[in-house]
Chain A
Amino acid sequence: MMLDVLVFAQAGGQEAVDKFANATSSGIALGAIYALLALGLVLIYKATQVLNFAHGALAALGAFFAAYLATVLNFPGRYVTFLPTTVQWILSALVAVLITAVVGLVLERLAIRPMIGEPLFSVVMITIALDIVIRTVTDDLIGTNPRPLGDPWGADVINIGPAVIAKSEIATVVVTIIALVGLALFFRSRYGVAMRATAFDQEAAMAQGISAGRIFALAWAIGAGLAATAGIFSSLFPRSSIGVSNTTAFFAFRALPAIVIGGLDSITGAVVGGFIVGLAESYAGAYLTGATFSFLGLGFAGVMPYLVMLVVLLVRPYGLFGTEEIRRV
Chain B
Amino acid sequence: MRTRPRLYVSYSSEMALLPTWTQKIAALVFLGFLVILPFGVIPGLGFLADNDWLKLLSRVAIFAIGALGLHILSGLAGQVSLGQAFFVGIGAYTAAVLGGEVGKSTWGLGLPMWIWLPAAGIVAALVGALIAPTAVRVRGIYLAIVTLGLVFFGEWIFRSTPFITGGAQAGRKFPSFQFRFWKEEVPFLDFTTDGSWFGIDVTSEAKTYFLLLVFVVIAVIIAKNIQRTRTGRAFMAIRDRDIAAEVMGVAEAKHKLIAFALSSGFAGLTGAILGAFVGRLVPEGFSLFMSIQFVAILLIGGIGTVSGALLGSAFVILLPRIVQDFTGFLASVAESGSGFFSWFAGIFVSTGLDDPGIVSTLPGTSPGLNIGQFNLFLYGLLLIGFLIFEPLGLYGIWIRVRNYWKSWPFTY
Contacts and interface: CB of A to CB of B under 8 A. Distances in A.
A binds B: yes
Interface of A: 45, 51, 111, 114-115, 118, 120-122, 124-126, 128-133, 135-137, 139-140, 143-144, 253, 256-257, 260, 264, 295-300, 302-303, 306, 309-310, 313-314, 317-318, 325, 327-329
B148 A256 contact: yes
A137 B369 CA distance: 8
B127 interface: no
B242 to A, nearest CB: 8
11 contacts: A45-B141, A114-B388, A122-B387, A128-B292, A136-B377, A257-B149, A296-B160, A303-B156, A306-B152, A309-B146, A314-B137
A120 B161 CA distance: 35
Contact of A122 (B299, B365, B381): B299
Given A118-B391, A264-B141, A298-B168, A125 B152 contact: no
B388 A329 contact: no
B145 A257 contact: yes
A329 B247 contact: yes
Contacts of B337: none
Contacts of A140: 368-370, 373
B303 interface: yes
B25 interface: no
Given A129-B296, A298-B160, A328-B243, 17 more contacts: A51-B141, A115-B388, A121-B303, A122-B299, A122-B391, A125-B295, A126-B388, A132-B380, A256-B149, A260-B146, A303-B153, A306-B153, A310-B146, A317-B138, A317-B139, A318-B142, A329-B247
Q: Give the interface size class of chain B.
A: 35 or more
Contacts of A128: 292, 295, 383
Interface string B245-268: 001000000000000000000000
Contact of A118 (B148, B384, B387): B387
Contacts of B299: 121-122, 125
**Most chain-B Cβ atoms within 10 A of its Cβ — which of A118, A126, A129, A130?**
A129
Q: What 9 pairs across the A-B complex have the smallest Cβ distances?
A: A297-B160, A132-B380, A129-B383, A133-B380, A306-B149, A303-B156, A136-B377, A129-B380, A136-B376
B244 interface: yes
B173 interface: no
A167 B320 CA distance: 46
Interface string B184-195: 000000000000
Given A115-B387, A313-B134, A302 B373 contact: no
B387 A129 contact: yes
B358 to A, nearest CB: 10
Contacts of B137: 313-314, 317
Given A124-B144, A256-B145, A264-B142, A302 B377 contact: no
B348 to A, nearest CB: 16
Interface in B365-396: 365, 368-370, 373, 376-377, 379-381, 383-384, 387-388, 391
Nearest to A250: B288
A313 B142 contact: yes
Nearest to B162: A297
B178 to A, nearest CB: 33
